[in-house]
Amino acid sequence: MHANTLIRARGIVHCHSQLSFDSQTTISELRDALVGAGFSFVALTEHVRDLTQAKYASFVDECKCYSDERFVVIPGLEFRCEAGIEIAGLWLNELVTFTHPEDAVRHVRERNGYAIWVHPLKRSGWSGLLDCDAVEAFNCKMDGPVAPNLRLLNYLKRARSEGKPFHIVFGLDLHNLNQPLSAWLECNVSKLSAENVISALRAGQFSACTKHIRLESDGTTTFPVHARMYALRAAYLAWNWLLGAVPIGIRKKLISGTRGVVRQLHTKHGIEVNLR
């Protein structure tokens, strides 16, 4: 490979394995599914509940065992801090816990990791920005599989325009392989490794993507993509309102009759992924 050749690495962030209390997916199963779907890396963000130093040390070793020139498993933790704020720290090699989110972010940065404020609207509401490396503008478990929360995204873009230096990411919040792999990050690296992926994220040299949307790390995109994102979000909200408004029998028929459309929305580059 020529020295200046870059590898386009596609991967998912905000993901849980069986180390987390609410997931049963092994790293081996996760790797096989993601490699089969064309991904190059996964950034794991395990809950600290019930973890011990020994369990986490074994987990870090397992991440290394399943990493090679084809696929990289990046260890990390998800900290639930005061006021319901949750911070995902990518590339952490030791178990720690925090009460204050600022301490969690500081710890991650001191170890050259990447600190993401995940699902900021889930529990903490929205009372201003936390100093962190990135904010999760699209959480597929909370927001559905097709488009981000536009109120949150627009707020973040305004904050960026006012000089706030955080990045915008899309996260799967993956707990099992029945969830669609419908959002990911893409970055260019000289060689596939955890260090190079994290360096690209820290530098903001990545895009946040779905099949239909691509945002740069600062939230910018083209007008056609911007319009498509608004249309998809409006359609998703209208569909959910409709499902909630009709009797359950009709709801089941609607879901069954539109499965083909949903399948297309969950398809990446013409390859169906994890629709069971």
Question: pLDDT tens digits, residue range 169-206?
Answer: 999 999 999 999 999 999 999 999 999 999 999 999 99
Tens digits of residue pLDDT in 218-256 = 999 999 999 999 999 998 888 788 878 878 877 666 667
How is the chain split among helix, strand and coil, in percent rounded to 5?
A: 35, 20, 40
Radius of gyration from C-alpha coordinates of the chain: 18
Inter-residue contact 210 to 267 (CB < 8 Å): no
Report how many helices (DSSP H) and strands (DSSP E) the chain contains, helices first. Answer: 9, 14
Two structure tokens written together for 147: 């488009």
Edge-to-edge strand list for the sheet holding 72-74: 72-74, 41-44, 7-15, 184-189, 206-209, 214-216
Tens of pLDDT, residues 131-149: 999 999 999 999 988 899 8
Average pLDDT of the chain is: 89
pLDDT value at position 121?
A: 86
pLDDT of the residue at 275: 27
Which pLDDT score, from 0 to 100, does residue 258 have?
62
Predicted pLDDT at 257: 64
Instruction: Give the C-alpha separation, 185 to 34, whole Å.
Output: 13
pLDDT tens, residue by residue, 60-91: 999 999 999 999 999 999 999 998 899 999 99
Class of the CATH domain delimited by 7-223: alpha beta
Give mean pLDDT, residues 50-61: 97
